[in-house]
Structure 1
Amino acid sequence: MQIRTTWLYKKFSSIKTSILFLGILSFFYLLGTIFPQGGDINEYINAGGRFIFLVKIFGLLDAFTTPWFLITSLLLLISLSICSYERLLTLMGKQILDTAPTKSYIIPLNTGENIDNTFIKKLNFKKSYSNPSATVVTRGISYKWLTLIYHLGILLCFTGFFLTYMSAFEDEVIIYPDETKAIQPSSQSRLQRLLGKKHKELPFKIKLEEFITEYNQMPSIDYPKDKLSRLAVGLGWTSNSLNYKIKDDSLFPKDWKSRLRVIKDDALILEKTIEVNEPLKYGGFTFYQAAFKQDIKIEMDGGPLAIDAEVGKETIIPGLEGEIVFKNLRTGTLFKRDGTTEKIIPFVDVYIFKKISDGKTDKEKIGRLEKGSLLTIGSKTFGIKGFSEATILSYRYDPGVPILWFGGIMTLIAMALRIYSPWYRVIYRVDVKDGRTLLKLSINTKGLLADKEHLIKRIQHFVLLSKNP
């Protein structure tokens, strides 16, 4: 028994089955927008997440890697492949063409009129078939080829999805200015985990030539102190113009950039300054500006030794009760509201965290420590001895992306042409009846822009006679 005659094959060759699987996948996509994908279950619980039991049982934080999603995707691929195959057999197979005009248009002709010349040379048709009983001519992009092309595009998209799922991985690397870093990925793709292999060191290195931070002044509205006046301002009931004030620490990050160099075999291959949404691409890898890391060296009481601290992290300093946190290190270029720029004198906000009763922590801002000045905390004096900023690059390898782009664009263009592009097939023959020469023809069209009536008028125009239905 041939497989195409089995019940299962017929079910999978039905477009209804494909729509059913697509609907199930749409449900997964909906779950993916509700539950944070790739998140940790404990963090989800601590954040007050709901439906904990269902999240754990069905793995809703990784909905797109669950067996249910993968099995449904595979079944959809099988169904679409079978549907495409059956459609391809229909399109490419030899069809019996009834060349006898059905719904005919009858147009009187001059006796010497060369109708073949009218269709081919004047109306830009191509002759596809001819016999003594009728002639078939076509014009436009063949809908068969367009259908074949967009099915091929869909197949390429699925190929790209599969490559992305099996081979893609991403990781991070921290690079300091003037450092040339060899990239050794620590994460693995699914294919590597399946084969038990690890990544080798990449055949090129990344050097950070310069890390650039930029800030804007962030003004705030200077509201009146009187409550009724503040209400009037909020409701727009006052004609007085609003006043703005700029605090010393009102700096808002404008941009951070990394001037990178790609080094291979001690030779410069590529140099580019990247920023958020402006990545560097090389060797199949894409490097994104993800974040930055700040470190600070603090001198205490003028001593020769420096205390190394990471900005934003707790630091224990001998002789002080509690933990010191240096936050919001600001350095780089300031873009002022008047359009001018200036270099920021590096400064950092200093906080102290002390444990109080019941395990709670009390946070207190001590002040601002600026380079070139000192700050006293308790009996000790602190100053900034130095600082550094490192770029944090997120890089990704995804061989499926080019295929997805190509397949997606191919599919969209082919489907748009298939829907809108005009295609005509005209079957005609010349008869002589009662001493009159008549053109009998029928017209078949595809595409929303096809205009059968306009074509009839064009034919009438070229044979120089009016239509006689």
Structure 2
Amino acid sequence: MSSRLLRFLGSMPLAVTLLSAVAIASVIGTLLQQNQPYQDYLIKFGPFWHQVYLSLGLYDVYSSLWFLLLLAFLVASTSVCLLLNGPAIVASASDYREHLHSKILAHMPEHQQWRVFAPLSLVQGQLQQLLQQYGYRLRSRADGERVLIAAKKGSANRFGYICAHLAVVVICIGGLLDGNIPMKWQSLFGSLAIETRDLPASQVPAASRLDTDNSAFRANISIPEGSAADFAFINVGRGYVLQELPFQIRLKDFRIEHYSTGQPKSFQSDLVLRDPERDTTLEKTISVNEPLRYRGFNIYQASFEDGGSKLDLTLRPLIEPAANPEALDVSVRVNDSVKVTAPDSSELKLEIEDFRAYNINRTAASVERGQDFRDDGPSFQFKLRRVDGSAREYRNYMRPVTLEGRDYLLSGTRGSQAEPFRYLYIPVDAAGSADTFFEMLHLLHDDDRLAQVIRDRAGQRPSEDERELTQQLTGATLTILKLFRDGGYGAIAEHMDTSVPEDQRQFASEAYIKLLHGGLRSLYLEVLDQSADSGLSESQSLFLDDAISALAGVPNYGAPFYIALNDYEQRQASGLLIARSPGKLLVYPGFALLLAGIFLLFYIAQRRVWIELREADDGRVQVDIAGESNRLQDEFRQEFEQLASQARQAPEQASR
């Protein structure tokens, strides 16, 4: 039973199957970005496939239990194969096979025979010397009247098999060492708890911490400028564990170089490493391809993000601005929050999540100008959270963005990270300001002023005979404007569905739109302090169209404020990848062994030549020469023909 098991473990089909499985897993681990937050995978693949990939462990292939078992099984299989076949291979490489029978020589692929007039000892000496000139190592054996010269070269080819198989064993053992098996063992048996709460490092419980003696891991930490850390986080499933470090890392400075388009060109971190155990301080600047190596730890420059920039914000009311029209100025740092009171007196919490000094976007217009990208300037991302815990996410740009020749302030909104941002386009006037739009909005929310403006603008043209009709139109216009203010075009459509017969809705729709646009035009003229007779320029007409579109989106914006970024003090953070990989000390030699094995197997041919000398009855010496090669048969055939030709001539030349 044990011998059958060993033969199965050392069989070629099993080895090929295991190698194929490891190769497929490695391809998956390369194509599928590893160790990302589960929420990112859920958004990318959807609930069904996310659960499938999660159950298969594809989000952390190289540390998954099934992959480590594959490696362990491959180590066992390859080791058994070496133990079973290695001794025979070594013996074969050192065996000259000087006991071959004459009949075997006669049936070899390369074989020639001739007779010469010369003493046998002379022929033997000349042929041995000739074989040595061709690089053969030889051994001769005399058996009565028969002398057999056995020669070989390229025996290192046989060791290619051993090198290749030993390389697989060494590489897989290195992979197992880097697989963080102790952590998986602790997690499996409950001694290590995966933390899922967003806690400060000081509050992470001891059950979710790993000591500094953890032999292998890959952890991440983001350190703001001027701050330090002696820990890092290892992503595990839906949570993390805290990995303690035997030293402290301080970020002195972080620098980014940009291309002319604004895209990051390179980024560097000036680190100060302090080791209290060894009373050592080390300073080094690291970049993407230049890590800091210390005591078996590798500290890589992995990413960068905001480290707590200070943002000066202005909150401009979008709802009921007439009752509370004053803007609110606040200063808050990224990753902090501040409580604010909405115009309707509701309490909200403003949570700043991110800040970007550059936003590189590609547009069709920029491509036509021969530029691939453009910088749309700073932006910040935030959430407005209500007292019930619900929140919407926003992304606002600091400066106007040009789209199709017109400038807008952009504000994106979404209900969850699974949704894309939907943008509100707030037009800016010729002075580059959004004040004109907000004055229109304030006027639209001030019922008294709104009614006065509509009455005054409507009364400029009609005569006394049309007073009653004017009052009706004014009332209808105010109704439509208030519906539009509170619910956009959807509120107007809903009003028509409930109050207008179906056969009259087409006519009513056209009439309502005319009243709406006429009323909004009156508000715009009021803001501009222009009379109705003065008309609008082309740019003013375009602004009015954009303002109407923006006003239609305000009811669905989901926030009582538009939050503008006035100024900022940027503070950046460096994202570091800290790895401890003892297995790489084996992986690199393993790959060297693999290359050596491949070279020996494919580029070195093992060649053997036998020459049998026998004294014939007529006093001559009969020469039988045969040879074989396990590779490069054509080259060996040419060499054998040349060798045989010189072997025919050597005794004759020596006897003259």
Q: TM class, shorter-chain normalised?
A: 0.5 to 0.7
Confirm or deny: 8 A CA contact 2:98 2:141 kept in the other structure: no
Query: Is 2:148 the partner of 1:105?
Result: no
Query: For the structure 1 residues 207 and 405, does the alpha-carbon distance in structure 2 shift closer, same or farther, using more than 3 Å as the test?
Result: same
Q: 1:126 pairs with 134, 137, 140, which one?
A: 137
Partners of 1:34 and 1:293 lie apart in 2 by 25
Matches within 5 A, 1:172-183: 172-177=220-225, 181=228, 183=230
Which string of whole-angstrom CA distances, capped at 9 and with x for unpartnered residues, describes residues 46-88 of structure 1? 4424346644655554555555544444333333222222111
Which string of whole-angstrom CA distances, capped at 9 and with x for unpartnered residues, describes residues 247-294 of structure 1? xxxx222221123355555555563x3322333333222222122233
**How far apart are 1:170 and its partner, in Å?**
1.4
Partners of 1:32 and 1:330 lie apart in 2 by 31
**How far apart are 1:156 and its partner, in Å?**
0.9
- The aligned counterpart of 2:186 is none
Matches within 5 A, 1:285-324: 285-294=297-306, 295-298=308-311, 307-310=331-334, 315-316=337-338, 323=350
Q: 1:417 pairs with 575, 600, 604, which one?
A: 600
- SS of the residue corresponding to residue 453 of structure 1 reads helix
Letter of the 1:394 counterpart? L
Query: For the structure 1 residues 270 and 91, does the alpha-carbon distance in structure 2 shift closer, same or farther, using more than 3 Å as the test?
Result: farther
Query: For the structure 1 residues 363 and 429, does the alpha-carbon distance in structure 2 shift closer, same or farther, using more than 3 Å as the test?
Result: closer
**How far apart are 1:169 and its partner, in Å?**
0.7
- The aligned counterpart of 1:236 is none
- SS of the residue corresponding to residue 135 of structure 2 reads coil
- The aligned counterpart of 2:629 is 445
Letter of the 1:367 counterpart? R
- SS of the residue corresponding to residue 161 of structure 1 reads helix
Query: Is 2:359 the partner of 1:328?
Result: no
Which string of whole-angstrom CA distances, capped at 9 and with x for unpartnered residues, describes residues 210-269 of structure 1? 321111222xxxxxxxxxxxxxxxxxxxxxxxxxxxxxxxx2222211233555555555
- The aligned counterpart of 2:296 is 284
Letter of the 1:156 counterpart? V
Matches within 5 A, 1:139-158: 139-158=153-172
Confirm or deny: 8 A CA contact 1:163 1:399 kept in the other structure: yes
Matches within 5 A, 1:177-326: 177=225, 181=228, 183-185=230-232, 187=234, 201-202=245-246, 204-218=247-261, 251-264=262-275, 265=278, 267=280, 269=282, 271=284, 273-294=285-306, 295-298=308-311, 307-310=331-334, 315-316=337-338, 323=350
Query: Is 2:591 the partner of 1:408?
Result: yes
- The aligned counterpart of 1:115 is 126
Query: For the structure 1 residues 78 and 163, does the alpha-carbon distance in structure 2 shift closer, same or farther, using more than 3 Å as the test?
Result: same
**How far apart are 1:366 and its partner, in Å?**
5.0
Partners of 1:46 and 1:351 lie apart in 2 by 19
Matches within 5 A, 1:54-73: 54-55=52-53, 58-62=56-60, 67-73=65-71
- The aligned counterpart of 1:88 is 86
Partners of 2:222 and 2:380 lie apart in 1 by 25
Larger radius of gyration: 2
Confirm or deny: 8 A CA contact 1:351 1:367 kept in the other structure: no
- The aligned counterpart of 2:73 is 75
Query: Is 2:8 the partner of 1:11?
Result: yes
- SS of the residue corresponding to residue 178 of structure 2 reads helix
Partners of 2:115 and 2:17 lie apart in 1 by 53
Letter of the 2:2 counterpart? I
Aligned-CA RMSD value: 4.5
Partners of 1:390 and 1:67 lie apart in 2 by 34
Of Structure 1 and Structure 2, which has the larger fraction of its residues in strand? 1
Query: Is 2:430 the partner of 1:430?
Result: no
Query: For the structure 1 residues 437 and 13, does the alpha-carbon distance in structure 2 shift closer, same or farther, using more than 3 Å as the test?
Result: same
Partners of 1:61 and 1:143 lie apart in 2 by 41
Query: For the structure 1 residues 465 and 150, does the alpha-carbon distance in structure 2 shift closer, same or farther, using more than 3 Å as the test?
Result: same
Query: For the structure 1 residues 90 and 286, does the alpha-carbon distance in structure 2 shift closer, same or farther, using more than 3 Å as the test?
Result: same
- SS of the residue corresponding to residue 183 of structure 1 reads strand
Query: For the structure 1 residues 258 and 148, does the alpha-carbon distance in structure 2 shift closer, same or farther, using more than 3 Å as the test?
Result: same
Letter of the 1:171 counterpart? A
Q: 1:168 pairs with 216, 238, 258, which one?
A: 216
- The aligned counterpart of 2:201 is none
Partners of 2:162 and 2:572 lie apart in 1 by 54
**How far apart are 1:198 and its partner, in Å?**
8.8
Query: For the structure 1 residues 149 and 456, does the alpha-carbon distance in structure 2 shift closer, same or farther, using more than 3 Å as the test?
Result: same
Gaps of 5+ in 1: 219-250, 332-346, 369-374
Confirm or deny: 8 A CA contact 2:98 2:150 kept in the other structure: no
Confirm or deny: 8 A CA contact 2:313 2:567 kept in the other structure: no
Letter of the 1:145 counterpart? F
